[in-house]
Structure 1
Amino acid sequence: MAKVAVSFLLFHMLYWASSNTLVFQPSSIIATGPRITALLLGNLKDVSLNVRTVFTSNLTGSIEPPSCEPEETQWIVTKQLVGTNALQVNLQLNKSLHFCGENETDCCPEPLCVLESLQVSACVENTPKTSLLIQAKIHAHLITTFPGSDNQTVIPNQVYEPLGSCPCDLTAGICDIRCCCDKDCSSEELKLFKSHCFLGPFGGQLPPVPDYHCSAQREDSPDWFPFLCVISPPENNPYLGHFYHGDTIAAKPHPSFQKPVLSAPVFNIYKQGNPIFTSDDQLFTIPQMVNGHCLNNAPVAFLENFSFQCVTVLSSCPNDFPLQTLPSDLSIHVNNGVGGDVTVVVTNEVVKDLNHFLTNAAFESDSDMEHVCDNVTLALDYTFIWKGNNITNINLRHSVGKLTFKGSVELTTRYSAVFVTREPVGESNSGNPGYQLGRPVIAGIENTQHNFSVQRTSINLWKPVRNGLCLTAEKQPVMFAENSTSGCQLFVSLQNLTQCDLLRETVGSLQATLVTATYVAKSGNPNSEIEEDWVKIQFENSPNALGDDEGSCSGIPSHTHIHIWSFVAEMTEGNAQRKIQAIQVRSTLSTWTFDCAGCDVCEDPTEAQLFHITSSVTFSDIPIHTGPPKTRFQINFTEYDCDKNDVCWPQLAFPLTKYYTGEPHSQSLAKGLILVFFFIAASVLGTPWRQIRQAWNSSL
């Protein structure tokens, strides 16, 4: 990673030096500490730095323009030359960050000590060339006036005391963080962590006496309380012995923040997510995008597919990797994961059409060009073939092209890695059986055959990239239970608004590419040949808006909304199994009107303006069906409601009611009647009836 950072910095230094301009990297900083560092790249001759406080305009919301006029601030600026065309700019806050005491001025009266916007201007001959915007939001530090101590608090003998008065007070004469019972903490210091105090006995808060304890008897206690309460002497306290025989403990000198020595990762076989190594135990790297920046040496993880695009500004022919490569740079020996090696097999492909790779480039004859660059890398597409936990083959398709341009040009390169296996693998599912949150919604296109079958696909939303235009926009699949809204922009000229039918057809064709499916899978693991596993997509269009005026077209399908209804079908081991009940795709029509803000705008028929095309998806949960609706008697009379009373008389005959589902109702009713018969027979033939018959017979 250090090599990557150095190469990234050198690239920017060379570029800005060649362009004879100045630029701050980064151009804006949000500071939370008293030290700020940035880089100034470019031609550093006769450059001076100026710092001032700026304010946002209440009318326009914009920041004041850069200025070279000196101004007194509470920041000290220093600079250090780190290269021929790089200058490290350091800002140090010239103010103490501790809370104010009595008769103190250089301090912080409130927890939020510094809140201001700074502007660092790079000036040449008293003319601002570039600026750095800093948003400083710095809080006061918890710095006490007492000197530090290596001794811990002396805690008295705890033989007869369950806890000390403040167990979290571990340092004598110093305010311990989050210890609200510490007498060394001032009121200002307590404000910093008053809402995050240590709870329970450790924070000095003894647990309350339980209600069953005899000492907890109150005036409203029942008469039988003295006979059933629990007597527990202090010797039985569960906290007795904590901090027992406290004594002064001298701190042993040792490095408390020493960086541990990390050994290289060792593993016998590859697992998903593990980095791939070369035969000489180095990380196997491919150019990737990390945190918004393209890195030329980013490690590759096993079974982790990726695809990135990197934009590079060229003002001359490239000479370094990856835009210029040697055979040894690509034909690398890679550790296969089981003790052997596998060599990357490279296939070179020459690309003739460079429209998808170049921006702002002129394509005339080579004799008219300032720069003619041969064999420039346009794409590196890796295919890893794996089996089990090892890599069997690595194939690389190396796409190159010939660049011809004037001045500068933007080159978009593509880097991808795909892991495939020769073993038969089923289609990717989104759950088993219910959908998993965040997994793609499975859609399908019905095949025109006699038997029902669908070909899997997806329903998509717009994914704007680079300039946000619909012509360069990509599509992203709809993820289950994730509401989303996205869109792109389309250039429409005044001449296009005179052909409304063609404009409506063009926009409708763009929106139709989002949803090409006719069915959506109800569950996350559908069968492509079972119709019951799929639900038909309902398409609905808004009514057409009539009346096309001059410079205006109505009925433009500018918005596509996807509405999906889902419900919880069952619970499996405590996990809800969600399924899709219905789906509706609705097109919303709008009217596009050309904005003639300027006097000469509407006179030129080729003048174009941007119009928005949007897409969205919304998921709605269908409530779980909890049974038949309650009757009026169940709502108004709750005396026999088993859910609201401790005594439930209807449950006395539960096996005979319809709520008993352990066996068929007819069998439970028959068994219940047999039990009743035996009960009556036993009562008639038992001892009480026999004595009654004997007494009756003796009286006769």
Structure 2
Amino acid sequence: MAYVVDTLFPTFISRRVTCVLFFISLAHTQNTIVFQPSYLTATGPAVSAFLLGQTSDLSLNLRTVSPSNTTGSIGSPSCVADATQWVLTTEQLGKTAVRVQLRLNQSLHLCGENETDTDCCLKPLCVLETLQLSACQNNTPRASLLIQAKIHALLVPANAGSDNKTVILNQVYQPLGSCPCDLTLGVCDIRCCCDKDCSSEDLALFLSHCLPGPFGGQVSPAPDYQCSVQSSENSPDWFPFLCVNSPPENNPYLGLFYQGDTIAPKPGPSFQRPVLSAPAPVNVYIQGSPIFTLNNRYFTIPQKVLGQCVNSAPVAFLKNFRVECVTVLRSCPTGSPLQTLLTDLSIKVKDGQQGDVMVDVIDEVATDLSPFISKRDSNASSDKTLLCENVTLVLDYKFYWKGNGITGIKLTRTVGTITLSGRALLTTKYSALFLNGEFLGEPNSGNPGYQVGRPIIAGIEATLDNNTGSIQRTSINLWKPVSDGLCSTAEKKPVLYGENSTSGCLLPVSRHNLTQCDLLRGTVTALQADLITATYVAKSGNPDLLTMTNWVNISFVTLNSSTATDNRMSTCYDIPSHQHIHVWSLTTSMVGGIPQREILALQVSYSPSNWALDCGGGSVSSCMDADETQLFPLTSSITFTDIPINTRPAKTRFQINFTEYDCNRNDVCWPELVFPITSRYTGEPYSQSLAKGMILVFFFITASILGTPWRQIRQAWSS
């Protein structure tokens, strides 16, 4: 029987993993040429990889390389091809992807003793070499792939064997075979290390991967309670009274091997790319459904997917986003989205109401490129400076909608001219905002009451064209320090309902700043005021922008700053370093078991502090140098207070008009004189307290009739 080592199995797994990486990487590849993966280990006669990027004018060159004896490195890629024993084939999979496959042009059978054919393997390790595949453009390497080929020869036994299989007796009635994995007669079975048909060369291939357990002939040793295992030297104290005598045939693994029918293999999961059907346009748009162009294609804008930028991502209806993508520029961009044409942007889009709308494009030119270009690295080997004109920097889309349709689309495209020398990082910005009429279609924070963990909705009063008042939505923020924690680099985070929070940032202040306290105080005030630009806060989680009764004025408590400053001591007083937001809310009702909370008031106050340089502990540089700075904290916090619901019964008209009988407002309470027999007494059932009260009244009247006062009155009456 022929025995063939399955050298293609690792390549099969490698191909499937490569396919997965390919479809993830293909989405966010922007104007770069790379091999996926960049390193491969070939254990079989065929290996494949993918070349991603602009592959229209590329050439592929294959050569054999070896590491340097001094440095150990392979060396830089080269566009000079060598003669190898590998055949290179390519397959175009799209505009930006090429499948590259290498196949060994040599037989893998081991050479015989007197064989003269050169197309064979001289030793079991048939191929051991390192290949370098370079993708060149104009004789310049753009990408390279290293392949480590380590392929063994196919070991075929002299006797071809037959299809006869070893008959395994029923293990229920027969002793366990010495080698259960020996399934084929006269042929070495793979990973069966106890097979007598395997030679030393065969065992060397899978000696470290033998079948474990009884299947591989590795029967566990006899337990220590067997009498045959113990000896007089190491026998325990209970031996031989409690040891067990059992024949070797009585093995616990008997019955694990049976003669059974063969089972046809079932098709397993496939890692091939599924065939995607054409998108099915919808009749009307609903929230989250994709937007389609007039030719039934997805309307796409660059977005982020799994943290990576994707050039063509479908836009979802009523889903706002704002992303930034970073691209490494080594040359002027030539394709979308960094180079866009007016004809590609001004397209017709289905409006969801059996019609279409045209994208209205407005162009702007950016003069300041500092927000977009960073980390310029000049290339010492290249003195050429490139001038990249009309590079697309910003794409801001505004979608106007009403009901289930789109009424208009406006695009503001910002372009600029970039001077490129060497390498630079380009940051581009993309956004999509859905406006209902002229209002931003932002998500609510409850329906109707606020829900815990949702942002507080604030607003600024605006005036429409018809001189009617409305509210423009905004947010109330706290400090969100990042990286170094300085206020200059800190971001803002919206306040979430029901979550008390405190955050801050650090402001560098020098001795020179502390001599200008008014200017410093104004700077800190402006930084703190920038967190809250709103003047109104919404009562509920879904306010109406046109109804002013749905909004509450924000109360700002001004800080009376002191004019007493001591410039000689470098001290400034009454710096509004802490901003506190206090929110009072009330649970008004329950809807479906969910409490509906409403904001009653919101107050913003400031806590002053005195700032002075700390010159103790040997750190006197900031006190000696006027420009040396120390860090002072700016903090912001928010506190929520829930007003409890009044569950007491309403006051009666008697309690309101006759306050002298109100037990809550007077020290003497006449109604409590008969408190044990009233309904408010809950110490015992009302019937029992009433009965006991009546008995007490009866005893009081009896004592009065039979007592001394009544007897004296009766005597005086009779006389």
Q: What is the TM-score when the length of structure 1 is the normalising length?
A: 0.50
